[in-house]
């Protein structure tokens, strides 16, 4: 029954994909209406006006270009012409670093907030105000104080991924069942051992859920941050190709951003499943 459902769903997915490609292909086939113009004037005009081609690349253009990129993902022809693999690598490295720093801060601090009602109440107003600030709003301040655009981007990733992790960790730790804590108490388990043997495993699914939300947000934000910061990264690539008016490359970049985001989410989802316990 399940396999049959999966099979049928796959057929529908493929049909939808093919339908989308077909509509895309037909829509970008070109108007066919070509105005008569002198060859000098035609040189100034784009292919839309002279050959009746669509301004939007079709699926075949994108596919061909994508194949070119996939054949040479890591070439480096100077600052404005790097392979997509290199650009994505920069973005992933920035996200990884900012995210890792956020984990280092958010999880211990979340534990503290979850275990201590005093700290929780004391920090609450700060968290409530800082949490809704758009991470990009920090960018000028980061550029001004850090004086390095790459580090500023990492800082922005840090600041946007810290909140979901912090709040989920605090919630997970505070919501550990009283009876499990009581078991540890009756066994005279010390605070540190209790934190690692009872609270951490009990709160792990909630913490991992927070981490999964964070990686999603971090990947959303890195594209915007790199558009501002420039230099390297997939966000910069998108903006650079927009300036080149290479819509084909923009579409390819959008596709790859989606793919990498999905992979990052899947990795965290797998970790979440590993620490989830049935009750």
Min CB(176)–other proteins separation in Å: 11
Give residues in contact with other proteins (CB under 8 A).
177, 179-180, 182-183, 185-189, 197-198, 201-202, 275, 277-279
Q: Would you say 52 or 205 has its CB closer to other proteins?
A: 205
Q: Would you say 204 or 222 has its CB closer to other proteins?
A: 204
Asked if residue 58 lies in contact with residue 25, where contact means CB atoms within 8 angstroms, the answer is yes
φ/ψ (deg, to 5) at 76: -140, 100
Alpha carbons 272 and 209: distance in angstroms, whole number: 7
Residue 17 gets which letter from DSSP? Answer: H
Alpha carbons 188 and 222: distance in angstroms, whole number: 46
What are 24's two structure tokens?
């895309």
Q: Would you say 187 or 269 has its CB closer to other proteins?
A: 187
Min CB(206)–other proteins separation in Å: 13
Residue 190 backbone class (left: φ over 0; alpha: ψ -120 to 50; beta: rest): beta
Q: Would you say 137 or 183 has its CB closer to other proteins?
A: 183
**Helix, strand or coil for residue 76?**
strand
Min CB(203)–other proteins separation in Å: 11
Q: Would you say 145 or 182 has its CB closer to other proteins?
A: 182
Alpha carbons 38 and 45: distance in angstroms, whole number: 11
Q: Would you say 112 or 202 has its CB closer to other proteins?
A: 202
Residue 197 gets which letter from DSSP? Answer: I
Min CB(179)–other proteins separation in Å: 4
Q: Would you say 76 or 179 has its CB closer to other proteins?
A: 179
**Helix, strand or coil for residue 82?**
strand
Min CB(198)–other proteins separation in Å: 7
Which residues pair with residue 35 across a beta bridge? none
Alpha carbons 76 and 96: distance in angstroms, whole number: 22
What would you measure as the largest C-alpha separation in the chain, in angstroms?
93
Min CB(116)–other proteins separation in Å: 19
What are 135's two structure tokens?
């991470």
Min CB(182)–other proteins separation in Å: 6
């Amino acid at each position: 029954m399940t396999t049959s459902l999966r099979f049928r769903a796959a057929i529908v997915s493929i049909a939808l994909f093919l339908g989308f490609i077909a509509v895309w292909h037909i829509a970008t086939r070109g108007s066919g209406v070509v105005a008569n113009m002198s060859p000098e004037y035609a040189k100034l005009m784009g292919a839309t006006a002279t050959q009746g081609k669509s301004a939007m690349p079709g699926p075949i253009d994108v596919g061909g270009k994508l194949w070119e990129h996939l054949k040479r993902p890591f070439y480096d022809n100077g600052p404005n012409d790097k392979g997509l693999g290199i650009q994505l690598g920069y973005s992933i490295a920035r996200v990884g670093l900012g995210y890792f720093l956020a984990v280092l801060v958010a999880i211990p601090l979340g534990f503290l907030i979850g275990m201590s009602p005093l700290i929780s109440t004391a920090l609450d107003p700060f968290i409530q105000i800082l949490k809704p600030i758009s991470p990009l709003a920090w960018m000028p301040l980061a550029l001004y104080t850090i004086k390095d655009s790459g580090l500023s981007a990492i800082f922005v990733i840090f600041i946007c991924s810290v909140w979901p992790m912090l709040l989920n960790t605090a919630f997970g730790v505070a919501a550990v069942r009283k009876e499990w804590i009581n078991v540890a108490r009756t066994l005279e388990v010390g605070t540190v051992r209790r934190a690692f043997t009872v609270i951490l495993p009990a709160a792990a699914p909630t913490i991992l859920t927070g981490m999964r939300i964070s990686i999603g947000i971090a990947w959303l934000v890195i594209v915007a941050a790199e558009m501002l910061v420039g230099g390297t990264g997939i966000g910069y690539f998108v903006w650079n190709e927009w300036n080149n008016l290479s819509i084909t490359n923009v579409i390819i970049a959008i596709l790859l951003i989606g793919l990498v985001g999905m992979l990052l989410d899947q990795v965290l989802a797998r970790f979440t499943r590993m620490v989830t316990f049935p009750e």
